[in-house]
Structure 1
């Protein structure tokens, strides 16, 4: 099970670092994170598993770039889920070695083993930025239409510039000019910039997944249902103004469902590992 935890932890840290760091800072952050993962695994006598986890994290970053389309669509996320579930379900409990051999760690959820702690850290790391990467891959893979008001800014600016250029090239026929009206061009009032609104999806998504995970682990199912329903109620006025193609509703449904599946899958994985006695 610790192999599954180290894989998830490596992938989660890699996605967080490449989202918020650039250039030399990114490489320094990756080196520090790699050393921390190796140290953590060495304390539990699983340093070889850490090497496997770091290698798979590098493959994950290559298959799912932040800028550009995924190289294998949604398949890397599906394969990662299958791999992690198989490792937890079919690998037997290992003989503990290292600093934490035979020790149980006290947590708010009770006493747990070192392997389960590492798996919990890995699941939490994946719920952060990796969840956003998976949702994006699902939306691009299903070709869900991104609403115009949340599309990349350069697309809207390019469209506006093209329209202005075309309008400037249209010639006015002589018959349309009134001799009694001055032909001097009047200054055009500035067009107010479109309100881009608050783009909190990158923050709301991780918070939502963490809350879903915690409510599921604590068996607070009424609160979980209320939170999921509240999200639909809050977004209903926006979705109800959707166009004939239903792009906004499709974008909302696909993104929300995939995000919830990631969180619920993490909760199920932790519950399964805990019941198995790891």
Structure 2
């Protein structure tokens, strides 16, 4: 579980830095992030997963250039899914280990939350925030939607991360009725734009593909947490 969290955290942090930091400052930021990740994993007896995470993040950056879809199709997305699934299957939720595990509180307002679950949740949120946008762009670029289609629905860059985090949270809490209402509300809000679509159906196709890929990404993160905790 903690291995998946570290991998998702590394990839998510890399994409956030690529999005919001100037190019000349990125190498130093990447190096600092790697050191901090190594310290975190050392305190949780999971150093090996830092090296896995750094290797995965390097391949992710190489395969997903800034603001575009994957350079080689959807293989970076498959890579993240495979590494995450393997990490969960190898190491579930461990007993508290390492210095951080000993200092981690045994209870919280949400009940018993282990260090492994906390790291996974932080990593999942980091990944869903910006890397989720990268996943959606890769899917749209790999499909039949024209390259200029994203300009039709400009709010997706902000709505997408909020939507994914909300889907992730509502799924984990079992609020499926509220989840269905949120997804339906998005379709209702977007309906006027979609209804003005051209005969080619570009906006409708872009909306459907983007929304479905975004929801599947969030549901996949929730599934990994359920799998890892044995829920």
TM over 0.5: yes
Find the structure with the greater CA-based Rg: 1
Q: 1:147: Cα distance to partner? A: 5.4
Could you list the per-position Cα deviations for residues 167-186 of structure 1 after superposition, in whole angstroms to 9, with x for gaps in the alignment? xxxxxxxxxxxxxxxxxxxx
Structure 2 counterpart SS, 1:112: coil
* Residue matched to 1:127: 128
Contact 1:45–1:96 (8 Å) recurs in 2: no
| Partners of 1:149 and 1:215 in 2: CA distance | 27
* Residue matched to 1:106: 107
Distance 1:92 1:206, change over 3 A: closer
Distance 1:31 1:64, change over 3 A: same
| Partners of 1:62 and 1:100 in 2: CA distance | 32
Q: Does 1:59 align with 2:59?
A: yes
User: Which aligned pairs between 1:140-151 and structure 2 lie closer than 5 A?
Assistant: 140-146=141-147, 150=151
Could you list the per-position Cα deviations for residues 23-80 of structure 1 after superposition, in whole angstroms to 9, with x for gaps in the alignment? 2322232122212211110110122221221121011101111155522211210231
Q: Does 1:82 align with 2:82?
A: yes
Q: Does 1:23 align with 2:23?
A: yes
Q: Does 1:267 align with 2:199?
A: no
Q: Which has the higher helix share?
A: 2
| Partners of 2:150 and 2:15 in 1: CA distance | 26
Of the three residues 204, 229, 236, the one matched with 2:191 is 236
| Partners of 2:69 and 2:210 in 1: CA distance | 16
Could you list the per-position Cα deviations for residues 106-135 of structure 1 after superposition, in whole angstroms to 9, with x for gaps in the alignment? 344321222222111111111110000000
Contact 1:146–1:247 (8 Å) recurs in 2: no
Q: Does 1:206 align with 2:161?
A: yes
TM-score normalized by the length of structure 1: 0.76
| Partners of 2:54 and 2:108 in 1: CA distance | 27
| Partners of 1:94 and 1:225 in 2: CA distance | 33
| Partners of 2:159 and 2:92 in 1: CA distance | 37
Structure 2 counterpart SS, 1:99: helix
* Residue matched to 1:188: none
Instruction: Mark the runs of 5 or more structure 1 residues left unpaired by the alignment.
Output: 152-197
Q: 1:243: Cα distance to partner? A: 1.2
| Partners of 1:111 and 1:67 in 2: CA distance | 39
Contact 2:141–2:147 (8 Å) recurs in 1: no
Instruction: Mark the runs of 5 or more structure 2 residues left unpaired by the alignment.
Output: none
TM-score normalized by the length of structure 2: 0.90
Q: 1:215: Cα distance to partner? A: 1.0
| Partners of 1:96 and 1:89 in 2: CA distance | 18
Distance 1:264 1:93, change over 3 A: closer
| Partners of 1:258 and 1:148 in 2: CA distance | 16
Of the three residues 220, 245, 251, the one matched with 2:175 is 220
